[in-house]
Structure 1
């Protein structure tokens, strides 16, 4: 019995150590800077980084610096096209996690396990917005046109297109958003928040080398 309890204790210790190690690694990765010499452009395109506490996203103008998203993200993809706005918020994630977990309260153990183990079924989430106002949950930064074009290229590459080069819309949460079939593999290391960090890093923005959590992303950008 003593030997059995000892083995059980070791097994439980390992099970507890795994999430703690993951959390610690995410904290450290989020603190180590990439593009350390980056500074905001004095003139350029104003974009935003936002969070709802579980997902982060990148908010961009519908049209700026020669990039017009209306060829990819159309008003008619919304359940109510009148909600098409001046800005678009992009996020990326695992299909079932995204569709079934709009808030932490909706998270189930099966969805979390499926996502952590990995999935090639991914979606791009797009919210249509009016001009954002910087605050606690949304931060503004100015990119040069070259940086913005790199950011836009990364985001576009995350869409899975049909043979005619068109995006593939999926019904959203409400009248002002839509999902689109995405590209890429999702797992515990490539999360929705890591995708945002990857996109910003690709553009040349200073952000952590690995950003699996929302705070890993948001901590790099000033208050309000």
Structure 2
């Protein structure tokens, strides 16, 4: 099952790579793209942006998040079912009932922001990830999308790991709108 989830994530990334600075024939130098990262943590995917990206392209919410996490070099954004996030701190805590409720009932969403210093690769050593260099135009759109996923920049409480917090999300979580689809839509 995990192989299919990873394959779907990378297929989604490939389909939206028009924003990425991959192609030699698109006139954009890949080495000049700004990196973003997507990490698969086993039961949840997150989109990671640098502090500089939020400083340069962020609006009011990003500015608030930057001030809430003054020591962060990067910010990992996850969007998902509020009950699932709060009830399932680790993959071992997943039950059939919790998973069924998250997938088959419309439920409130939250944004989870985890932060860190240094390289996100050094923190997420147990997760699969990909680095994607993107254009400034794409960064602007990605940051706007991430900000639009949160109702406000007022934290609901501490997050799941590291220096992190939860924020009230916009939209309902369900089978066809999950953390993976949210990350794909951001890209």
- Normalising by structure 2, we get a TM-score of 0.75
Spell out the pairing of 1:26-37 with structure 2 (5 A cutoff).
31=11, 34-35=15-16
Tell me what 2:50 maps to: 61
**8 Å contact 2:35–2:133 — kept in the other structure?**
yes
Are 2:136 and 1:150 equivalent residues in the alignment? Answer: no
* SS of aligned partner of 2:85: helix
Aligned length: 169
Cα separation, 1, equivalents of 2:17 and 2:49: 23
Tell me what 1:211 maps to: none
Cα separation, 2, equivalents of 1:124 and 1:43: 30
Tell me what 1:205 maps to: none
Tell me what 2:33 maps to: 44
Spell out the pairing of 1:42-191 with structure 2 (5 A cutoff).
42-64=31-53, 66-68=56-58, 70-76=62-68, 84-134=71-121, 137-161=128-152, 167-171=153-157, 172-174=159-161, 176-191=163-178
More moved, 88-97 vs 170-179: 170-179
Deviation of the 1:31 alpha carbon: 4.2
* SS of aligned partner of 1:63: helix
Deviation of the 1:75 alpha carbon: 5.0
Tell me what 1:193 maps to: 180
**8 Å contact 1:62–1:70 — kept in the other structure?**
no
Deviation of the 1:116 alpha carbon: 1.1
Relative to total residues, which structure has the larger helix share, 1 or 2?
2
Deviation of the 1:175 alpha carbon: 5.4
CA RMSD of aligned residues (A): 3.1
Runs of 5+ unmatched residues, structure 1: 1-19, 162-166, 201-224
Cα separation, 1, equivalents of 2:67 and 2:160: 15
Cα separation, 2, equivalents of 1:152 and 1:50: 17
- Normalising by structure 1, we get a TM-score of 0.64
Runs of 5+ unmatched residues, structure 2: 23-29
